[in-house]
Copies of this chain bind each other. A is one copy, B any other.
Amino acid sequence: MKRPAFFQTPESRKGDIITAALRIIDQRGVKGLTVSQLAQEVGFVESALYRHFKSKRDLISFILDNILQDAWNYLAEVEEKTEDSLEALRQLIYLFLNFLEQFPGIFKIIYSDEIYLGDRELQDKIDRVISEIISFLKKVIQKAITQKKLKSGLDITVAAMHFLGLIYTAFSYWTLKKRRVPLKRISSELLDQYLEGVRA
């Protein structure tokens, strides 16, 4: 898997800070990401953060922007490479879960009520990430129906939401099991159950 865009220049200070921020969010939640904690994790003093980001909000916003960018690249890649649309769905779930396994903090940002309800602009960004993903999923599912791999009567929107829900479910289960079970195993079983339900 390619590194997310903001990790492609790992020597940059911004990259360091974001890595630290995501680690903190992963471990202590969005609420745990305080400027003080962040400074401690990065290894500088609180005020130094503002050399790199205008505000804490700006930091989150920056991360979200890059996710959107990356998400798009990843998805395009899968679409391009995979002929079989059923296989594409399998690829997609692995792609998402690999990503989340590496950067669980991103997942927490997206699903965080604290961010979502706290800031209209960030809320819009998150909405855009989600709807980008959903409309992509719908496209894949539509294609699978056309190829007669999935049921013809399927409600495409619900099927897409259901699929996205699997990712959340796998992540929850993974968390519940203290991350001791490999995500791939969980998701594989889930996906089988899902596909059985929607297959033609």
Question: Which residues of A does B touch, CB under 8 Å?
Answer: 27-32, 108, 112-114, 116-118, 130, 155, 158-159, 161-162, 164-166, 168-169, 172-173, 176, 186, 189-190, 192-198
CB contact between A197 and one of B31, B116, B158, B194 (< 8 Å): that residue: B194
How far, in whole Å, are A50 and B172 apart by their CA atoms in the complex? Answer: 35
How far, in whole Å, are A38 and B112 apart by their CA atoms in the complex? Answer: 21
Tell me which residues across on chain B come within 8 A of A117, comparing CB atoms. 27-29, 31-32
Judging by beta carbons under 8 Å apart, are B158 and A116 in contact? no
Judging by beta carbons under 8 Å apart, are B31 and A114 in contact? yes
Judging by beta carbons under 8 Å apart, are B158 and A113 in contact? no
Q: How far is the CB of A23 from chain B (nearest CB, A)?
A: 14
How far, in whole Å, are A32 and B172 apart by their CA atoms in the complex? Answer: 24
4 tightest A-B CB contacts, nearest first: A165-B169, A197-B197, A196-B197, A29-B113
> Quick one: which of A169, A172, A198 has the most chain B CB within 10 A?
A169
What are 9 sample pairs from A and B whose C-beta atoms fall under 8 A apart? A31-B31, A31-B118, A108-B113, A161-B173, A162-B190, A165-B166, A194-B197, A195-B197, A196-B196
